Structure 1
Amino acid sequence: MLTVKLKPRHRLFCFSVKGHVKMLRLALTVTSMTLFIIAQAPEPYIVVTGFEVTVAFFFIVLYILRLDQLIDCIFWPLLDIINSVVTAVFMVVISVLALIPETTTYIVLGGFSF
């Protein structure tokens, strides 16, 4: 029986550690947005989490289609780092604002899920 061992760079994105981390990030952000929508949180909470869902989904599709290897004029690791830093700043601000005492239980859960 002939088995072919793929090099790490040829491994499918969905089965890589990077893929698992990005999909977990997408799932947590979708959960937070859902909790904010259920709780009827202020619109900026929903908009920022919706924006982060869109960006995370964009990167997952980009890597699944291997467009990062076709478009080599962009340094993708740096773009990932910038995206992660901006996301972390937005989500920390939203999480802190969601924990203000005048909030409902769902808003607090949405803030904690980041």
Structure 2
Amino acid sequence: MQTLKPKSESRPFCFSVKGHVKLIRLDIINSVVTALFLIVVSVLALIPETTTYTVLGGVFGLAASVFSIADGALIYRKLLFNPSGPYQKTDAHDKL
């Protein structure tokens, strides 16, 4: 009786469909961690209010954290509404 050999050749992680989804999830996690780090650093910069440049740095850090949160939200929205691939737009009369 012959035994089946396991498939020796496999696709790399980044070339599979699920690999891209996992990379997007990692990007969402990266955006959240970045936003949390920027918020902590910015709030710590705003507490002493020693110079104008420190306050400006804190404000720009908070703005960057808002942009990072928006980036994570947009990526999550893309993953939620488009989990498998590009959206193919079809007209209503093509469906009939």
Q: Sort the TM-score into its range (normalised by shorter chain).
A: 0.3 to 0.5
Q: Which has the higher helix share?
A: 1
Rg bigger for which structure?
A: 2
Q: Which has the higher contact order (CA 8 A, sep 6+)?
A: 1
